Amino acid sequence: MQFLRFMNRRKIGGVMVVSAIAAAMAVVLPAAAVAQDSSAETNMFRGDRPEISVTVRDSGGAEIATPATVKIYRSGVPTDQGQTRKGRVFFMLASTGEYTVQVSATGYESSQKDIAIPVALKTEVEFSLKRKAEANETTGVPAGPVLAPKAKEAFEKGLQALSAGNIKDAQKYSGEAMNLAPGHPDVLYLQGVVDLNLRNFADAQDVLEKATQVDPMHARAQAALGMALSDQGKYEEAIPALEKSLELNAGNPNWETQYALAQADYKLEKYPEAAKTAQSALSNSNGKAPEIELLVAQSLVATGKYDEAAQGLRDYLKNHSDRPDAAKAKRWLDRLVADGKVAKN
């Protein structure tokens, strides 16, 4: 997902965001009963509460010997979890409705199923897990929260609307997605980006903080949160979120996030860090955002590297004289010459 900051514009996740450059809120998850193994079924009074009994088998049909982690989601929000014993685990749910059951186990591929429970009766769910070709994990690795089909459709339509610059439709679809899956990190991320487009920076901070609390590994939400904080002048708070996003994408650093981090560093007078990160952003952008060169020049001047700054400004004027910031670059270069920092060329 991308950030592009120029003339108060940038991209997040391939969609344009217009912005100027929010107290952590705890995510309250629905209450749920503790999962029970199958031996507890006969000892529990169900009353009018629905049940799910999960059986996990291997590909040969035998109940899996390895303890499997089973998670129950409703509208993308985790409501309960437990581990199998002798291949089985039992849950009592708070209410009827549509649920997603997700299973993971060491050495096996994860699996999930959508289950509709219209009445307060017991529902049997069986899984047959396929063993991984290379199974050297020490613990099961469950997948992230899943979106039900309708919520996923609204989420994707919201992203498409933002990509097309249609904020009205983006608001509509993000609202639908929030109604269907209000605790899902992707949906919260979408709402946060919509709020950024609307310049509702505090609202954006609120929902993006929720997204990163539900899923701290959500790189796009971390980056968007960093920008929401920067837009409010909260640079000290923004930097950890931006750095976390880059850490999560260490193998393929996002240049827009690097650019945003460099801007925050510069605002906090961390000039060497700003120069280094801005140079990396400029290189990784592959010419998509030449205006980053101006931030590089500013940071280099602040660290006393006048010749390098001047060369960058000259390159910018040579290659991008038609851009709006060309006049600014010329003024900066002329000032360096007038102050005797660099020779006139």
Per-run averaged pLDDT (10 residues), the chain, 345 residues: 39 49 30 40 53 87 84 82 89 88 86 87 89 48 67 92 92 95 93 95 96 91 96 96 92 90 97 96 92 96 96 95 94 94 86
Q: How far apart are CA 192 and CA 210, in angstroms?
A: 10
CATH value of 38-129 in 3.40.50.150, 2.60.40.10, 3.40.50.300, 2.70.70.10:
2.60.40.10
Domain limits, the chain? 1-27+147-252, 38-129, 269-345
Burial of 70 (0-12, 13-18, 19+ CB in 10 A): buried
Outline where DSSP puts E strands in the chain.
Answer: 9-12, 15-18, 51-58, 68-74, 77-83, 88-92, 97-105, 111-117, 122-129
CATH topology of domain 1-27+147-252: 1.25.40
Please tell me the predicted confidence (pLDDT) of residue 40.
38
Please tell me the predicted confidence (pLDDT) of residue 9.
47
Q: In the numeric block, which tokens belong to residue 186?
A: 């992707």
Phi, psi of 316 (to 5 degrees): -65, -45
Please tell me the predicted confidence (pLDDT) of residue 15.
52
Please tell me the predicted confidence (pLDDT) of residue 18.
47
Please tell me the predicted confidence (pLDDT) of residue 256.
92
Please tell me the predicted confidence (pLDDT) of residue 75.
74
Q: In the numeric block, which tokens belong to residue 66?
A: 């390895």
